[in-house]
Structure 1
Amino acid sequence: MKLFQRFAVLGLAAVMMVAAGCATVGRDFATHKVEEIEIGETTRAEIESMFGEPWRTGVEDGKRTWTYGKYRWSAFGDAETTDLVVRFNEDGTVASYVYNTTE
């Protein structure tokens, strides 16, 4: 194998290793609007207007939940995570929420 070909193969292998060392899941959302959420007042429609479609939906303790989040892991550095989990009352207003970030 010629010297140029060896460097090309080594370069491609290095790029593949770096790409494999990082992973991002979820999507960005307007974290600055979290402070606008009011328990018992803010509705599902308002949450969707503020943050868009939830990344995940589910049920916790019988309450509908929406999750917004972006999670980035790297084999070569610190993880960067941000998430918001909103729980709704039966009437569609916010029962509770939790916001966490590593930033």
Structure 2
Amino acid sequence: GNFDSSQINSIQNHLTTQEQIFERFGAPFKKGLENGQAMWTYQYDKWNALGSAQSKDLVILFDNKNIVKAYRFTTSNPKKP
């Protein structure tokens, strides 16, 4: 589902906790493990008659204390033909 991308700026590596991420963004679209550490993915796609209108992607990697280690946010807004 959609998530509040205005909250992205509030994420701080080595400071923000998993609990705070959950409060701000809700349950992740997907939970996984990378090298034994938790990885949460938030994904949002908005569709229209021409296909994908907008997509947002937030990937957060936590350390073994469940604190944000790194994150990546990508967004695409394809132009209409």
Q: Which bracket does the TM-score occupy, shorter chain normalised? A: 0.7 to 0.9
* Structure that is richer in strand per residue: 2
Cα displacement (A) at 1:39: 0.2
Deviating above 4 A after TM superposition, structure 1's stretches of 4 or more consecutive aligned residues are: none
Normalized against structure 2, the TM-score is what?
Answer: 0.84
Aligned residues between the structures: 77
Cα displacement (A) at 1:63: 1.8
Structure 2: 5+ residue runs without aligned partners? none
On the 8 A contact 2:60/2:71 being kept in 1, the answer is: yes
Indicate the RMSD between aligned Cα atoms, in angstroms. 1.6
Identity of aligned residues (%): 32
Structure of higher CA gyration radius:
1
State how 1:1-103 maps to structure 2 within 5 Å: 27-72=1-46, 76-77=50-51, 79-103=53-77
* Structure that is richer in helix per residue: 1
Structure 1: 5+ residue runs without aligned partners? 1-26
